[in-house]
Amino acid sequence: MVSIENLHFSYPKKEIFDGLNLQIKHGYIYGLLGKNGTGKSTLLSNIAGLLFPKAGRINVFGHNPGERRPAFLQDIFLIPEEFYLPDISIPNLVKYTGPFYRWFNEELFSGYLKEFNISYQSNLQNLSYGQRKKVLISFGLAANTSLLLMDEPTNGLDIEGKSQLRKIIAGAFDEKKSIIISSHQVKDLENLIDQVVIIDDGKIVLNESIQYVASKLLFKITFDPSETALAIYSEPMLRGNAVITLNTGDEESKIDLELLYKATLANSKLIQSIFKA
């Protein structure tokens, strides 16, 4: 669906990508994790055709994003971290923007707004930043594009809003779509994503399915100092230690996405070697 090969991209005073490769498949929700400034937004903008690579190739369902052809634009939706919405009512937003997206569903849009507790008759400029973001997210989901890009969608949302967002995304997703969600707030994506992609200093240091991560690693709390000493990664808590160990007996554990993220950034070569084994 999305193929990125040998991507090179730089700003005038900073190189971001030097030969990045990534494949995005149908029917998965990808979590793109990384620190601020490490290239997450730049990668999404390259996929959306808003930025142009210095070298390499990006193919999005048969299109070169940089050409910005209507057939491509109608089947992709980007929810940026920073955005502007015009001073119009929500019904007029639907009237003037909805028809561009072939599979836009006004009924679904209205339902998502209801779940976010936003009146369909609201004027966008009378809403708070968080409410406007919920409108944009609802519109993006209702557009029913094959690819949805979400850049830090939980920024500006309160705890209830984040919970509503996870619920709505899970309910709106189907196997014909792909969603890429970038975030540095790792906890916000737990129990939502199928594939975790961790990027650091413009390089992808981990790209594995949640299912495969669970088969290779165990996540638990331990009070045993010897177990902590042998752990792949450990972090002290108020009581005991949160640890990651090898899963040698087909055990099941709940993946701590934040702990995996920290472990990967601390020792990416070790984590990579475990998944290659």
Any idea what the Cα angle at residue 186 is, between residues 181 and 188, rounded to 5°?
70
What average pLDDT is seen over the chain? 93
**Residues 165 and 244 reside in one and the same domain:** no
**Residues 20 and 86 reside in one and the same domain:** yes
Mean pLDDT score, 32-37: 90
User: What is the separation, in whole angstroms, between the first and last Cα of the chain?
Assistant: 27
**Residues 180 and 250 reside in one and the same domain:** no
**H or E, element range at 230:** helix 225-230
**Residues 154 and 240 reside in one and the same domain:** no
**Per-residue pLDDT, 250:** 81
Mean pLDDT score, 109-127: 95
**Residues 9 and 107 reside in one and the same domain:** yes
Q: CA-to-CA distance for 28 and 194, rounded, in angstroms? A: 6
Higher pLDDT, 176 or 246: 246
In this structure, what CATH number is given to the domain that contains residue 78? 3.40.50.300
Cβ neighbours of residue 78 under 8 Å, at least 6 residues apart? 44, 45, 48, 50, 149, 151
pLDDT at 214 > cutoff 90? yes
pLDDT at 188 > cutoff 80? yes
**Residues 59 and 189 reside in one and the same domain:** yes
**Residues 188 and 240 reside in one and the same domain:** no
Domain boundary among 168, 201, 234: 201
**Residues 90 and 40 reside in one and the same domain:** yes
**H or E, element range at 222:** strand 217-222
Domain boundary among 169, 201, 233: 201
Residue type present at position 270: L
| pLDDT confidence band for 178 (50 / 70 / 90) | very high
At 172, is the secondary structure helix, strand, or coil? helix
- Percent of the chain residues topping a pLDDT of 70: 100
**Residues 220 and 149 reside in one and the same domain:** no
Domain that holds residue 12: 2-201
Judge contact between 201 and 38, C-beta under 8 A: yes
Domain boundary among 173, 201, 229: 201
| pLDDT confidence band for 184 (50 / 70 / 90) | confident
**Residues 117 and 243 reside in one and the same domain:** no
Mean pLDDT score, 140-155: 95
**Residues 194 and 229 reside in one and the same domain:** no
CB atoms within 10 A of CB 50: 15
Lowest mean pLDDT among 78-92, 128-142, 166-180: 166-180
**Residues 53 and 165 reside in one and the same domain:** yes
Q: CA-to-CA distance for 277 and 247, rounded, in angstroms? A: 13
Residue type present at position 139: F
Torsions phi, psi of 260, nearest 5?
Answer: -60, -40
Structural domain count, the chain: 2
**Per-residue pLDDT, 220:** 93
pLDDT at 277 > cutoff 80? no
Of 264, 152, 267, residue with least CA distance to 198: 264
